[in-house]
Structure 1
Amino acid sequence: MNFECFHEIAQWIINSRTIVENIEYEESPLKPPDYNIIPFNQLDIYKDTDAEVDILAIAMMTNAPRQVNTSHGMKSLVQDIYVIDSSLKVLRLAMWNKFVHDECSEICNIIMEKPIVLATKIRVSSYNGLSLSSRPTSVFTIEPFLASAISLRAWATENNLLLEETIAKNLDRPVASTSGSSTDPLVKISEIVETLKSIPAMTV
């Protein structure tokens, strides 16, 4: 076996006395990201603080992008997306500047499908009672591959009529909290999780 070391050609000779062993590398399994997802009905304590919260919600509707003048005299681009979680509380999520061109555009393209959005490092403010806003360090993932997102999608599917009613009620008052009313009973996410646990794992 020939190899080059420091530009010099060398040779290894392997014979019957050579011991060759397979070295097994112990690789620690990759851990999924740890998100501290806060339900909408628990966001009040984070209002107007420096806290960076994570949310998981369904995007219901969007407004057109608009330019605004900031307190520093700069023009910024902002677009509002109205999101809802299983508490049926509708909140305005203001996405600023770079997020308008990328994530907002993608969400708008599939808004009729009610995409699930994972948003991290979000600011919570008391604007209009309670609202959300992106930070420069925020990260948005559309349709994340998370167990909690699967549960939320299942809940949304089971309660689609209630979500449609909530959307209709909030078209004129998008930031109002909605308790909702429907003849169909609400399906709790905890019940969906238990159902998912009872499904046998798929084998390949």
Structure 2
Amino acid sequence: MVNLLSIADIKPKMRGWSAHVTVQEKMHIASSQKSPTRYQKFVFSDNQGSRVEGIMFNAAIEKMGSKLHTFKKYLISNADVKEIEEQYQTNGLTIQWVISAKTVVEELSEQGSCVLTNEFTPISFKDLASYADSKSQTVDIMAVVVDSMPVIPIKRDSQESFVQRFLIVNEEMVPTVLSLWNTFVENEGKLLTDHHNKHPVLICRRLKVVTYNGIALSTRNDSVIVVDPPVRDARSLKNWASRNEKELLALCRDKPYNNQSPKMFYGPRQKLTEIRDVLPTEKVSWVKCMFSFEHILQKYWYMACVKCRRLTSADYGCTYTCNHCNEKQSAQPRCRFDIDLTDHSDTITASIFGEQAETLLGFTASQAMHYFNRNEDLPLAKLHEELKNKMFIVQLKPGSTKNDGSYQRYTIVYYFEENAETTSAENQLHRGSNASTANESYLQITTDQAPSCVASPPDKEELPSRTRRSLLSSLDESEETTPKRQRKK
């Protein structure tokens, strides 16, 4: 006679039990960092909402792994029940069923209707920015695949990895890039590529939020991706995609992931840091500041590989083998210059690159190069005057330090001009706050409003930049470290 118990009633070292469970998650096979042991993890749930971790090792993976499929129901009997050591606990689970070749696993013929339990809470795409570049926080999402991009090999520390990116959306219509890495490319990536025109629905667990052309998503080793799951909410999203086919085709055609977009980047409520509190240990920081670079003598461009954008000594338009991406590419000018960012607390110098730099400057990299080659200054007097009356919201990331460690480099990942409504909201927030001396403040941002100039410069003298660089050591620098060149006058 089967002793059928709920997951919650099955305790460590217990024998003679059975349980009806649904496979909620099936992770990819992984290897231990300190031993050759291979393992594969699962998450099981029952109809009472209880959950438990399942795990297989080595030979058991080949014998038993193929029997278990996500969202199918099984009878499992007499797996070894153990407590999970605290350092190995994930998903809030403390009990583990170790499934071996002798464990009884039988698929149940009556599958019934499979509905996600309350543990799965898809996050709103508009809230993704709050989790950007967090080392400890992950997100769960449900989305429709709109477009697929080719697989790209990437070499890091002599090891080759593979990444494939997909454009995904949900009913919010906030287009977002999802990057699949390595094993996910070989499995889910191939399936999505073959069927992306049918707009498959994804349920993704434990994705990390990264800053790639705005806000993007990326897999981790413990992420789980389920394609077209037999779940009520997923089917509703699939029907929504069918009703909005024209809009999804337009997204596929316009490829919004090629350009940085405020809609993909800045969340409705972001933490702002005073410049004096910006730390190189923080992966990203948001600041509110003024821009100034009138006093910095620089050339506003550098010659770069057209693919990887790394500095090269190749002549303009020359095809050469890049020493960084190891491919034959063309040498083209790329816009880059330094800006002093100033708030009421301090000043910091950061570099801005590419299209964002061209937009702020009002000149393309090619135009800046031609002015430089003619030994003429760019006509920037009007821009410098306008910047004196503008405030910007800026996201910074730390870069590499100079060789002698004398200063910390920063790069402007993204910026936009602060608008009137933003300033008003912030003033109200400060008036209503009792913590007026805190180092960090919160600013309510309305992302669908066009930016406009409303702010005034700080009522204090310009602070000296703690990372100000002279022309002799900073003219021709890229995001890493590059030699400088002085203009002739």
SS in 2 for 1:43: helix
Cα displacement (A) at 1:47: 0.4
Spell out, residue by residue over 1:91-135, the C-alpha distance to the aligned partner (whole angstroms, 9 max, x if none).
Answer: 111110111111100111111101111111100012222111100
1:143 to 1:30, Cα distance in 2 relative to 1, 3 A: farther
Unpaired stretches in structure 1, ≥5 consecutive residues: 1-21, 179-204
1:29 to 1:167, Cα distance in 2 relative to 1, 3 A: same
Spell out, residue by residue over 1:32-75, the C-alpha distance to the aligned partner (whole angstroms, 9 max, x if none).
Answer: 442121121111101011211111111111111111023x4421
The normalised TM-score by structure 2 is 0.30
1:172 to 1:52, Cα distance in 2 relative to 1, 3 A: closer
1:153 is aligned to 238
Q: Spell out the pairing of 1:1-204 with structure 2 (5 A cutoff).
A: 29=47, 31=49, 32-33=116-117, 34-49=119-134, 50-70=136-156, 72-170=157-255, 173=258, 176=261, 177=263
SS in 2 for 1:128: coil
Structure with greater strand share of residues: 2
The aligned amino acid for 1:37 is P
Is the 8 Å Cα contact of residues 92 and 175 (structure 1) preserved in structure 2?
A: no
* Aligned residue-pair number: 156
SS in 1 for 2:213: helix
Moved over 6 A (4+): none
Cα displacement (A) at 1:155: 1.5
Q: Distance in 1 between matches of 2:152 and 2:197?
A: 21
Is the 8 Å Cα contact of residues 199 and 238 (structure 2) preserved in structure 1?
A: no
Q: Could you say which structure has the larger radius of gyration?
A: 2
Q: Distance in 2 between matches of 1:122 and 1:24?
A: 38
1:66 to 1:25, Cα distance in 2 relative to 1, 3 A: closer
Unpaired stretches in structure 2, ≥5 consecutive residues: 7-45, 50-115, 265-489
Q: Percent identity?
A: 23
* RMSD, aligned α-carbons: 2.5
Is the 8 Å Cα contact of residues 115 and 143 (structure 1) preserved in structure 2?
A: yes
Is the 8 Å Cα contact of residues 146 and 249 (structure 2) preserved in structure 1?
A: no
Q: Distance in 2 between matches of 1:163 and 1:75?
A: 33
Is the 8 Å Cα contact of residues 213 and 257 (structure 2) preserved in structure 1?
A: no
Q: Distance in 2 between matches of 1:164 and 1:87?
A: 16
The normalised TM-score by structure 1 is 0.68
Cα displacement (A) at 1:171: 6.6
Greater relative CO, 1 or 2 (CA 8 Å, sep 6+): 1
Q: Distance in 1 between matches of 2:163 and 2:236?
A: 30
Spell out, residue by residue over 1:162-190, the C-alpha distance to the aligned partner (whole angstroms, 9 max, x if none).
Answer: 22222222277376558xxxxxxxxxxxx
The aligned amino acid for 1:132 is L
Is the 8 Å Cα contact of residues 91 and 174 (structure 1) preserved in structure 2?
A: no
